[in-house]
Amino acid sequence: MAGGSVLLAAVSLLSAFQQLHFAWLVGNSRRKHKVMPPAVTGAPEFDRTFRAQQNCVEFYPVFLTLLWTAGWFCNQEVASLLGVLYVFTRYKYFHGYVQSVSGRVTAFYLNLIILVCLLTLGVAGLVNSFLHEYLDVSLGKKLHKLI
């Protein structure tokens, strides 16, 4: 099962580690600002830290779905590179948001652009696979012949 997915799995592990790290930082912020569970509001810095992590949590399954679909059906190397960029821009997003509400904006739009790129790769790969599997047409070969 593992052949041809090493890079995708490596990026997935990296992003999972990042999620654990963000949860850890929320815990630190709880102690720093004395916001005891189950409360999720308190000092403004804690509120921003908590929302930053929640936003990362919300997008995480979407990211994984797009990463693996793009990687399996289109190109593993390109998808993994976009995945590493996503992890990096999520890092910028989180720390930017902790600093100030406006500090999250640029990184958030970069995140969205990366997700749209992964979605596009995934759709392109799926259309090709679909034509190949159900209509026996290979776009890859046709493009190759043209060039």
Tokens representing 1 are 């099962």
Total count of residues recorded for the chain: 147
- Asked about 31 being catalytic, the answer comes back as yes
Size of the site for a copy of itself (CB under 8 A): 51
Site track 54-93 with a copy of itself (rule: CB under 8 A), x = hit? ---xxxxxx-xxx--x--xx--------------------
Which residue, 59 or 86, has its beta carbon nearer to a copy of itself? Answer: 59
Q: Is position 104 annotated as part of the catalytic site?
A: yes
| Closest separation in Å from C-beta 60 to a copy of itself | 5
- Of 17, 1, 10, 12, whose CA–CA distance to 66 is shortest? 12
Q: In angstroms, give the least distance from the CB of 37 to a copy of itself.
A: 6
Question: Pick from 29, 48, 83, 114: which binds a copy of itself (CB under 8 A)?
Answer: 48
Residue selected from 28, 34, 77, 101 as contacting a copy of itself according to rule CB under 8 A: 101
Cβ neighbors of 53 (< 8 A, separation 6 or more) are 22, 23, 25, 26, 94
Rule CB under 8 A: choose which of 83, 96, 103, 122 binds a copy of itself: 122
117 binds a copy of itself (CB under 8 A): no
